[in-house]
Amino acid sequence: MNMKELIKGNKRFREKKFPQLKKSVEKLVKEGQKPEVLFIGCSDSRVTPDIMLDVNPGDMFILRNVGNFVPPFKCDEDYHGSAAAIEYAVSVLEVKHIIVCGHSHCGACQSLYTEIPLEKQKVIHVKKWLELGAKAKEKTLSLVKDPNNKEELYRLTEKISVTYQLKNLLTYPDVKRRIENGSLQIHGWYYKLEDGSIDCYDQEAERFKSLEECVNAK
């Protein structure tokens, strides 16, 4: 994929896809966005929230970062990009749902088990960010039968990480407040790159099950 191909892609979008969206986009421009969902996903180029959920512009407020991590709330005036997106979605847009979506073959989760060389401080922020996966790694190692089975190790880490990110969401005052008053729900999802299917986390049963099972159970 090069720049020329991206430019051609935009041309195709404007000619074929945008005309179908024109009316709804004009309404969004005039009235502003009112998404009901905050989707927190990984920056991995293979994860495509709009495509895999078949949604339109205005349907979801999307936050993507390395590993779909949720940093715990920190009350200071430093720069917090992910926290700012969460606060904006919850307190300004007043979304009704937050989805934390992990995925299979996540490079961030795999990196928890490998040492990243820190040549000339090139990835100092990456190494710091990956600390957000430390608890998931610790929990996984306490559960996995054979740490040398990388397939089992990585897949379990990816799922357990989602559960810890849900816990981190509860450190945000407005998130906790709105969950308690019933105006907000949080969801843990796991997207499988292999077939496009999604599993959801059942917090009561403490296990992942198919998205269809989650919907039918409600």
Q: Where are the domains of the chain?
A: 34-213
Percent of the chain with pLDDT over 90: 87
Q: What is the pLDDT of residue 29?
A: 96
Residue 75 annotated as binding site? no
Q: Is 3.40.1050.10 the CATH number for 34-213?
A: yes
Pairwise CA distance, residues 26 & 30, whole Å: 6
Rounding to the nearest 10 degrees, give the CA dihedral for residues 133, 138, 144, 150. Answer: 50
202 annotated binding-site participant: no
- Judge whether 103 is annotated as a binding position: yes
DSSP code of residue 53: T
Model confidence over 19-32: pLDDT tens digits? Answer: 999 999 999 999 99
pLDDT number for residue 119: 66
Helices (H) and strands (E) in the chain, counts: 10, 6
Q: What is the predicted pLDDT for the residue at 122? A: 81
Tokens at 104, concatenated: 């299979």
pLDDT mean across residues, the chain: 94
